Structure 1
């Protein structure tokens, strides 16, 4: 990651070739951050803190944020009411517009659990609060330093351009893509089901590049398992999962769902099993804007 990023500082003419690679590496940093928060990389707490500081810089946001939004919230509610990252907040349709804008909507709703987590740490867990402040300080401070270095090397305009392609664009790509993954892995799945709660992609190429991130059902059922063990875990539960929820090709699925489906609806996805707003009690949940606070009271339960 630092080699690819800083090479663009040394040789800006390489930006068109290295920036796409930087985007992939930033996405990898996001997946590593996700895995690191579920199953810490080291036994030593200080090394784990340093690991979080390091990958935060390339991923685009301090890694502690995975805890309140993902570990404590998403894994508890799994796309049901209470999950800050639900795919069906304003519609249960799955099309390119909903998928593309999911990042902006989900980011907005995830901000509240993050704020509450920080506030609670400040009140009752000073060591955790200091770690959060440290992550923010290192993340922002290092970016400001790199902006300064780029401007010193190339002047204001060109320097900002170099930093943007070396760090900012890869980070934004990583943040958007991580949330897009979450969207497609849960849209039109059945969160009330034992095994049909997630969509998995079992293609070898994708899972090699992204640390088995495509094996999402296995991850949800064993969230503390190391990513390298998910192949075996997926093989055990695959026969129990609805066939439509195991796809071979991530890119093929996206092409069918968002390029072909607008013209040929049969290529689009359909709700598998019970919708997230149709709990087994039979009482439909309507997540209207005026009702969000009440319906998402589960978020507050996760914070405490």
Structure 2
């Protein structure tokens, strides 16, 4: 029996491990002050894509058994700033259950007075409160909370060892990328939901059908489908989206960010048959 729940997870996991091996290589061998900084700059966007895969993993674990899942989550923690069960508690048991109600949503885009947060305000604030909110949700789910807290201790201990060995390389190869990736993860939620007051899943998410974006993020652009059935494996989201497309307004399709926005400039998005092009291209 294969270790993987879904065969399609094999290649992405291999890539994540290769990236982690490169991180460790830079950490242990870099002697120039500028190399760790350059490494941070080069991998900001790719590690942002890895955040999407960590998100998928916390919805549908990639391995059948707990031990390989925990080991993968240590790698994800160093790459994305989101450790074991942090996103499961905050996002799966929190945001997914409450995102249609801004008074309850763990990733709410409204201020308390009902006005809409700006991108930076939302991303910075929600990144800072992500772990406390995960802990708060975890109080209602003790088993998941124990994994979250236990693996948090492991992650902090490992990071501490890295800083003890070489604080400078640990700062630029691990800690700062973790912080930036957490910010990017939160920002992506804003990008998918801001301004959408709705009671139906098909009306409450922006969708991105750009092929390159979905290749690198595991079909995260099919976001209405993801919220409609969040237990569906990432590889099945395009098929589910096709079933829901007739109920998704054309205004809820948007373009991807950098670098994908630079490609396919005449037709970045393939809209369902019969839908109007919201960008007017």
Alignment of 1:14-53 (within 5 A): 14-53=35-74
Q: Note closer, same or farther for the CA distance 1:142–1:86 as it changes in structure 2 (3 Å cut).
A: same
RMSD: 2.7
8 Å contact 1:189–1:245 — kept in the other structure?
Answer: no
Which of 251, 276, 279 is matched with 1:244 structurally?
251
**CA–CA separation in structure 1 for the residues paired with 2:20 and 2:259:** 32
**CA–CA separation in structure 2 for the residues paired with 1:167 and 1:202:** 32
Aligned to 1:83: 105
Q: Note closer, same or farther for the CA distance 1:2–1:138 as it changes in structure 2 (3 Å cut).
A: same
Gaps of 5+ in 1: 151-158, 256-268, 270-304
Tell me whether 1:99 sits opposite 2:119 in the alignment: yes
8 Å contact 2:119–2:190 — kept in the other structure?
Answer: yes
Shift of residue 17, structure 1, vs aligned partner: 3.9
Q: What secondary structure, in the 3-state scheme, does the structure 2 residue paired with 1:195 have?
A: helix
Q: Give the number of equivalent residue pairs.
A: 240
Alignment of 1:1-304 (within 5 A): 1-9=19-27, 10-11=29-30, 12=32, 13-80=34-101, 81-90=103-112, 91-93=114-116, 98-120=118-140, 125=143, 128-150=144-166, 159-160=167-168, 162-251=169-258
* Runs of 4+ residues deviating >3 angstroms: 12-17, 90-94, 107-113, 117-122, 248-255
Gaps of 5+ in 2: 1-18, 263-277
Q: Note closer, same or farther for the CA distance 1:21–1:44 as it changes in structure 2 (3 Å cut).
A: same
Q: What secondary structure, in the 3-state scheme, does the structure 2 residue paired with 1:135 have?
A: helix
Q: Note closer, same or farther for the CA distance 1:129–1:242 as it changes in structure 2 (3 Å cut).
A: closer
8 Å contact 2:74–2:83 — kept in the other structure?
Answer: yes
The structure, 1 or 2, with the larger RCO (C-alpha pairs under 8 Å, 6+ apart) is 1
237-246 or 1-10, which moves further after superposition? 1-10
Shift of residue 171, structure 1, vs aligned partner: 1.1
The TM-score normalised by the length of structure 1 is 0.70
Shift of residue 119, structure 1, vs aligned partner: 4.1
Shift of residue 181, structure 1, vs aligned partner: 0.7
Q: Note closer, same or farther for the CA distance 1:100–1:113 as it changes in structure 2 (3 Å cut).
A: closer
106-115 or 80-89, which moves further after superposition? 106-115
Shift of residue 144, structure 1, vs aligned partner: 0.9
Q: What secondary structure, in the 3-state scheme, does the structure 2 residue paired with 1:73 have?
A: helix
